[in-house]
């Protein structure tokens, strides 16, 4: 298969008209041969570029797309190419160079209403750089109990930016719960409703970097002017402004200006305003002027709905058992749910096995093992053991020789050896700079004691279970 990496914008401008016509014909045949969801997930995103004799070039979002199409629809494509372009016909995939067209872009907008054969859109040059990623929309944001309020507020301000009392809208919640998706969906919706509005989406980190650069290049005035002249300001992960006083001062002024002129401000954070440390009080108080809402981890039903939505967009049909299995095991956040699906598909492609219950179970096991290994650290073990034996963490890390401290230390060493990948040397170092032979002695001793003493055995296996299950 001939894959070339070239620039998407250039190509779409130079597109020859014939290619669109042939492509339409091609799509009509494909559409009538496969389910709608598969069609819209895997074929609508392709764009015709040029037709050279009987060679049709189409733009695909990424390598993964090519691999998938080739694996699943090879025969259909070959037959259709022959039907539309004749025996000599050839379809060449050109992979888009754009960074953001990564695997997650496959989770494109809801598909039902996209099942329309349309001319590929010309790239419209937008002179105002808003940094918005068009993938994030409300129609691919699944509503659940944990995000209902945040979503409703977000939709309300997209309808009437700056005109509601939700100014600023402050959304907070844990990692992977959809804050970035939601705040960007607001930006994208406003942009499609009010194309003239100037919107900026920026992470607090980038905002700081830009500001520092403007100081270095003596262009601070220009920088503030740009931000003071916009209609909608979206700052993601505002907690990263902690301790950055100068940037906070600047934001304070921008905030006041925009707010006074009834411009919309949207902020996101991993914690509520009152818990952000290192943030100027006057700025913090402003964060509470509008509406502060949280997003909570998705409940079981929402996890199922999200999985259905994402797998549909992928063009795969997961059985209820598989959906239940994933939703039951992956509970923390949506990014992990997505990650699990992607891993499942990757495992299926790599091993050429169908996506079935067995593969799903294996994939979840792989993910949980990695997670467990990350979360079981010597530190966690020490804390848990010390709590159980009611001794001070510090004493266990020092050279204290009190009987109960020695026992706790030896149990902690034993669990560190059994549950982490750390070397004997590392473990010894973490417990008061002892050498590896002390660790070996501790492990042997605990094994011996636990085999004789039922209550110690119970305690040690209880601790092990807790650590392994991450509870
Ligand atoms: P956060 O910013 O809170 O860390 P993100 O917005 O980056 O989380 O979300 C992580 C991933 O999960 C993204 O790919 C996003 O599209 C997806 N996602 C989050 N919430 C939802 C939802 N309710 N419905 C569908 N996809 C979601
Ligand atoms: Mg985010």
Judged by average pLDDT, the poorest of 61-75, 116-130, 200-214, 401-415 is 116-130
Q: Is the CB of 200 under 6 A from ligand 1?
A: no
The string of pLDDT tens digits covering residues 452-470 is 899 999 999 999 888 876 6
pLDDT at 374: 66
Tell the residue nearest (CA) to atom 11 of ligand 1.
335
- The pLDDT of 264-290, averaged and rounded, is 94
Of all atoms in ligand 1, which is nearest to the CA of residue 177?
A: 3
| Range list of H helices, 289-377 | 300-314, 320-329, 334-351, 357-375
* Token pair belonging to 77: 């494509």
**Residue 103 DSSP code:** G
Residue 419 predicted with pLDDT over 90? no
Give me 215's structure tokens: 């100081």
Give CA–CA dist 386/369, Å, rounded: 25
Q: Does 249 have pLDDT greater than 70?
A: yes
Asked which of 55-69, 84-98, 109-123 is least confident by mean pLDDT, the reply is 109-123
User: Ligand 1 centroid to 147 CA: how many Å?
Assistant: 11
For the sheet with 55-60, list strands across it: 4-6, 90-96, 55-60, 47-52
DSSP 8-state symbol, 126: P
97 compared with 323, residue with greater pLDDT: 323
Return the residue whose CA atom lies nearest to atom 23 of ligand 1: 142
Determine the Cα–Cα distance for residues 96 and 114; give it in Å rounded to an integer. Answer: 21
Ligand nearest to the CA of 333: 1
- Tokens standing for 44? 């609508």
Model pLDDT, residue 98: 46
- Determine the pLDDT at residue 110: 33
Among 83, 14, 10, which Cα is nearest to 52's? Answer: 14
Domains defined along the chain, listed by start: 4-95 (3.30.300.180), 127-295 (3.40.50.300), 300-367 (1.10.8.60), 378-469 (1.10.1750.10)
Query: What is the structure's pLDDT at 16?
Result: 56
Statement: residue 88 has pLDDT above 70: yes
Q: What is the percentage of the chain residues whose pLDDT exceeds 90?
A: 55
Looking at every residue in the chain, the average pLDDT score rounds to: 85
Which one of 103, 146, 150, 178 would you pick to mutate in the ligand 1 pocket, going by the greatest count of ligand atoms within 8 A of its CB? Answer: 178
- For a substitution probing ligand 1, which of 176, 311, 313, 332 has the most ligand atoms within 8 Å of its CB? 176
- Give the integer Cα–Cα distance in Å for 288 and 284: 7
The stretch 392-411 carries a mean pLDDT of 91
pTM: 0.61
pLDDT given at position 8: 46
174-200 burial, b at 16+ Cβ within 10 Å, e below that, comes to eebbbbbbbbbbbbbbbbeeeeebbbb
Confidence of residue 114 (pLDDT cuts 50, 70, 90): very low
User: The tokens 């002892």 sit on which residue?
Assistant: 434
Task: Note the pLDDT tens digit of each residue in 311-368.
Answer: 988 888 899 999 999 999 998 889 999 999 989 988 888 888 889 999 999 999 888 7
Residue 104 vs residues 19, 39, 314, 347, 440: alpha-carbon distances, Å: 28, 18, 10, 16, 47
Decide if pLDDT at 3 tops 80: no
Residues 251/241, Cβ–Cβ less than 8 Å: yes
| Cα separation, 313 vs 34, whole angstroms | 14
Q: Tell me, what's the pLDDT at 36? A: 67
Residue 335 Cβ < 6 Å to ligand 1: yes
Relative orientation angle of helices 204-216 and 245-260, to the nearest 10 degrees: 110
pLDDT band at 17 (very low <50, low <70, confident <90, very high): low
Q: How confident is the model at residue 92 (pLDDT cuts 50, 70, 90)?
A: confident
212: part of which helix (H) or strand (E)? helix 204-216
Question: How sure is the predictor about 121, in pLDDT bands with cuts at 50, 70 and 90?
Answer: very low
Over its C-alpha atoms, the chain yields an Rg (Å, rounded) of 28
Would you state the pLDDT for residue 471?
Answer: 64
Q: Which atom of ligand 1 is nearest to the CA of 144?
A: 23
Backbone phi and psi for residue 265, each to the nearest 5 degrees, phi listed first = -120, 135
Q: Does the beta carbon of 147 lie inside 6 Å of ligand 1?
A: yes
Confidence category of residue 7, pLDDT binned at 50, 70, 90: very low
330 lines ligand 1 (CB under 6 A): no
Q: What is the pLDDT of residues 159-209, one digit of tens each?
A: 999 999 999 999 999 999 999 999 999 999 999 999 999 999 999 999 999
> What CA–CA distance (Å, rounded) separates 301 from 146?
11
Q: Quick one: tokens of 205?
A: 């980190």
Q: Length of the chain in residues, anyone? A: 471
Could you tell me if the CB of 181 is within 6 A of ligand 1? yes
Task: Tell me the two tokens of residue 121.
Answer: 């859109």
Residue 168, preceding peptide bond in cis (omega within 30° of 0): yes
Is the pLDDT confidence value at 51 over 60? yes
Judged on CB neighbours under 10 Å (0-12, 13-18, 19+), 389 is middle
């Amino acid at each position: 298969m001939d894959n070339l990496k070239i620039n998407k914008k250039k190509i779409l401008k130079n597109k020859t008209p014939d290619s669109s016509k042939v492509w339409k014909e091609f799509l009509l045949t494909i559409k009538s041969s496969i389910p709608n969801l598969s069609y819209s997930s895997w074929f609508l995103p392709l764009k015709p570029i040029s037709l050279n004799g009987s060679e049709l070039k189409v733009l695909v979002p990424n390598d993964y797309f090519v691999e998938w199409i080739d694996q699943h629809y090879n025969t259909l494509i070959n037959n259709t190419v022959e039907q539309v372009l004749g025996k000599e016909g050839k379809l060449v995939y050109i992979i888009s160079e754009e960074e953001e067209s990564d695997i997650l872009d496959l989770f494109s907008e809801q598909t039902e209403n996209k099942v329309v054969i349309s001319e590929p859109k010309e790239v419209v040059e937008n002179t105002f750089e808003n940094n918005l990623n068009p993938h994030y929309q409300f129609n691919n944001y699944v509503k659940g109990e944990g995000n209902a309020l945040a979503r409703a507020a977000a939709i309300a301000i997209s309808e009437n930016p700056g005109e509601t009392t939700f100014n600023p809208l402050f959304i907070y919640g844990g990692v992977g719960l959809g804050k970035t998706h939601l705040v960007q969906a607001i930006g994208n919706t406003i942009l499609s409703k009010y194309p003239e509005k100037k919107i900026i989406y920026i992470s607090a980190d980038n905002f700081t970097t830009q500001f520092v650069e403007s100081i270095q290049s003596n262009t601070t005035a220009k920088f503030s002017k740009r931000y003071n002249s916009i209609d909608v300001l979206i700052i993601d992960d505002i907690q990263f402004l902690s301790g950055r006083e100068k940037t906070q001062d600047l934001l304070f002024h921008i905030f006041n200006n925009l707010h006074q002129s009834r411009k919309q401000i949207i902020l996101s954070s991993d914690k509520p305003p009152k818990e952000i440390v290192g943030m100027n009080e006057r700025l913090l108080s402003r964060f509470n002027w509008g509406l502060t809402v949280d997003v909570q981890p998705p409940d079981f039903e929402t996890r199922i709905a999200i999985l259905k939505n994402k797998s549909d967009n992928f063009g795969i049909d997961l059985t209820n058992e598989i959906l239940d299995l994933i939703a039951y095991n992956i509970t923390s956040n949506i990014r992990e749910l997505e990650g699990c699906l992607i891993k499942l598909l990757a495992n299926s492609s790599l091993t050429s096995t169908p996506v079935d219950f067995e593969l799903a179970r294996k994939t979840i096991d792989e993910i949980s093992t990695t997670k467990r290994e990350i979360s079981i650290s010597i530190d966690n073990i020490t804390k848990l053991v010390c709590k159980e034996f009611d001794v001070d963490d510090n004493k266990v890390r020092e050279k204290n020789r009190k009987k109960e401290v020695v026992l706790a230390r030896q149990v902690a060493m034993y669990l560190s050896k059994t549950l982490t990948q750390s070397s004997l040397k590392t473990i010894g170092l973490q417990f008061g700079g002892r050498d590896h032979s002390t660790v070996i002695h501790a492990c042997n001793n605990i094994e011996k004691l636990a085999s004789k003493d039922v209550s110690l055995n119970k305690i040690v296996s209880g601790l092990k279970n807790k650590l392994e299950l991450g509870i």
